[in-house]
Amino acid sequence: MKPQNRSALIISILIPLAIGSFSALISGNMSMYSSLNKPELSPPAFIFPIVWTILYILMGVSSYIVYSSNNPNTRNALKIYVLQLFFNFCWSIIFFGFSQYLFAFLWLIVLIILIIIMIKQFYKISPIAAYLQIPYLLWCMFAAYLNFIIYLRN
């Protein structure tokens, strides 16, 4: 791998990691999660940062594959990628920072729709890039379940 390509890969991975970390930082009161009346399938709190780190790395690798392609659809696919990153960034703030569980759930539904659109756009460029986003989609669907039950119970 050329040094230029290696730098682009590292930057592609660091972008979602930084966005997720910054969102968690400004969301504030994530410790309140332990005091919520959560659904039975809710994993322990320590699982979330591990899963999100893996997902952000997969997102970065996937976006790098799309970015480094010569496909004419790359620009539009990356626009959707950036838009869904924005929705991802805001969700933690809405849920943890403002404790707006219903709004966070609705926001998450839009995020899931954006992820599906992104996967379709990525698939046109690289099926592998699209497949790398599937764990993210599944996790967000699971998060929507958790979010909705938390809304109902709290």
Sign of CA dihedral 87, 89, 95, 100: negative
pTM of the model: 0.95
How would DSSP label each residue in 31-60? GGGGGS---TTPPPTTHHHHHHHHHHHHHH
Separation of alpha carbons 106 and 119, rounded Å: 20
Q: 40: burial class by Cβ within 10 Å (0-12, 13-18, 19+)?
A: exposed
Residue linked to tokens 């969700």: 91
- Here the tokens at position 124 are 């046109």
Give yes or no for residue 127 having a pLDDT over 90: yes
Q: What is the mean pLDDT of the chain?
A: 95
Identify the pLDDT of residue 30: 72
The reported pLDDT for the residue numbered 147 is 98
* 126 secondary structure, DSSP code: -
124 pLDDT higher than 90: yes
Tell which residue, 74, 150, 54, has the closest CA to residue 118: 74
pLDDT band, very low/low/confident/very high, at 1 (cuts 50, 70, 90): low
Cα–Cα dist 95/58, whole Å: 24
pLDDT beyond 90 at 33: no
119 phi and psi, to 5 degrees?
A: -60, -45
Report the distance separating Cα 54 and Cα 36, nearest Å.
Answer: 25
pLDDT band (50, 70, 90) for residue 28: confident
Domain boundaries, the chain: 73-154
